[in-house]
A and B are shown apart, each in its own frame.
Chain A
Amino acid sequence: MSTLFLAADLVSVFVRSIFIDNMIFAYFLGMCSYLAVSKNVKTALGLGVAVVFVLTITVPLNWLLLNKVLKEGALAWISPSLAKVDLSFLAFIMFIATIASMTQLVEMLVEKLSPELYGALGIFLPLIAVNCSILGGSLFMQERDYELAEAAVFGLGSGVGWLIAIVAIAAIRMRLRYSDVPAPLRGLGITFIITGLMGIAFMSFLGITL
C-alpha cells in the first residue's frame, strides 16, 4: 500500500514539475539561453537534453550534500559532537560548485561523443553552469523539502519541462521567419509575447488534480 502511495506521489511531483511549475512558464528560469539558443530546433533539442541531464544529476546530488553535510545536525552521522553544526549558509556555494563540476563533465562528454553538437552549442554549454534553471532546481528542492526520490524525479521533470519549452519556442520561431512582425518587435519582443501566450496555455494544466 505504502509503495503505491509513494509511486503516486512521485508521479504527482513529476507531472507538476513538467506542466504546472514549468521552469520557463511559471518561474522564468533559464530564460537567457532559452532566448538565445531557440533559433533552430536541432540546437534547442541538444541544449535541452544537456539541461535534462545536468538537472537530473545535480538535484539529487545537492540533496545528499544538503541533508548529509550542510543542514543543522546533518553531520551527526560522523560524530555526535557535530550534531549542532549548521552549515546551511554555505548552501549556495556548495550547490554551484557541484553544478559547475557536473557541467564540466557534460561538456567533456559532448565534445567526445558529438563534436557537431559541441560546435553548435558553443558558448552555451559551459554556460549551463550559470543557467538559472539548474541552480533554481536545487534551490526549489531545498525550499520545498523534498525526499531523495522526490528530488530526483523533480530534477528530471523540471529538465523535461524546460526541454519541451525550448523545443516548442524554437519550432515557432522557425515558422515566424515567414511572418510580417512590426520591425521594433522583431526578435526579442515577439519571442517574449509568444512565450507569454504559451505560458497562458500551460496555465490550463492548473486545473489538474493529482
Chain B
Amino acid sequence: MSDVLVQSPAEKKPLLGKKERKLITDPLSDNNPVTIQVLGICSALAVTTQMKPTMVMALSVTAVVALSNLVISLMRNAIPPRIRIIVQLTVVSVLVILVDQILKAYMYDISKQLSVFVGLIITNCIVMGRLEAYAMGNKPFPSLLDGLGNGFGYGAVILTVAFFRELLGSGKLFGFKVIPDAVYEAGYVNNGLMMIPAGALFVVACYIWVQRSFAKHLEEKE
C-alpha cells in the first residue's frame, strides 16, 4: 500500500547499517525532512512567526518522533501489516495527547498560541513517514536515533525560518527587541510581509534555494 513512501526516502539514504552518527547528522542537511523529503510542511510554516513557540514546537515534534519511532520499533514484529496505520496513529496520538497535556499544564500561553498545531503533530507527515520508512524495519536504538535526527532536522529548518520572520517582521528575537530604536528613527520599517502566512513560504523557498545552490546533487530535474 505504502511502498512508494517506504522506498523514496530510504533509497536516498545509504546509511542503513552504517555509523549511527550519520543517523543524526544526515537529516540535518542532505536528507532534511522538510526541504528534501518534503514532509511536515504544514506546521513548519504556520507556527514560525516567533522564535519561542517555534522552539516549543520543535521540541514537541522531536519528542514525539523519537518516542514513537522507539515504541513502534519495539512493536514492529507484533503489528499485523494490514492494520499498521491504525496502530501507528494510536501510538502517535497517545504521545501527542501527553505532550498537549504537559504544555497545557506548564506552558499555557504557548499552548494557546500553538492552538491546533499541537494536535496536528499526529498528522505531521514526518512522524508517519519515519515510522513507515524506518521504525517498521529497524531495531529500537537506531530508530530512536533516526527519530531524534529527523526531529532536529525539522527543528533546524523551522528555527531558521522563525529567526528571519521574527527579526525582519517584528524586529525581535525570542520576544526581546534586537533592532535598536535609533534604526527605526532613521526610517527603518518592519517588513509586514514576514508576518503574513505567505511570508513563510518565501522564506522556506529561499532556504531551499540557498541549500540547493550549495549542494548541486539535490537539484530536481523537471
Contact = CB atoms under 8 A, between A and B. Distances in A.
B1 A186 contact: no
Interface string A87-102: 0011111011100100
B213 interface: yes
B101 A31 contact: no
Contacts of A199: 196-198, 201
A96 B199 CA distance: 30
A66 B196 CA distance: 32
B124 interface: yes
B212 A189 contact: yes
Nearest to B213: A184
Given A36-B38, A192-B208, A195-B201, A92 B119 contact: yes
Contact of B5 (A92, A123, A134, A203): A123
B35 interface: yes
Interface in B100-138: 100-101, 115-116, 119-120, 122-125, 128
How many chain A residues sit at the interface, stated as a range, is 35 or more
B186 interface: no
A53 interface: no
Contacts of B100: 89, 92
Interface in B30-78: 35, 38-46
Interface of A is mostly: helix
Contact of B1 (A27, A126, A132, A200): A126
A91 B118 CA distance: 13
A31 B41 contact: yes
A180 to B, nearest CB: 12
Interface of B: 1-5, 35, 38-46, 85-86, 89-90, 93-94, 96-97, 100-101, 115-116, 119-120, 122-125, 128, 196-202, 204-205, 208-213, 216, 219-222
Q: What are the 4 tightest A-B residue pairs by CB atom distance, in nearest-first order?
A: A187-B220, A196-B201, A184-B212, A31-B41
12 contacts: A27-B42, A28-B197, A28-B200, A89-B100, A90-B97, A97-B90, A100-B85, A130-B125, A183-B212, A184-B211, A186-B222, A190-B205
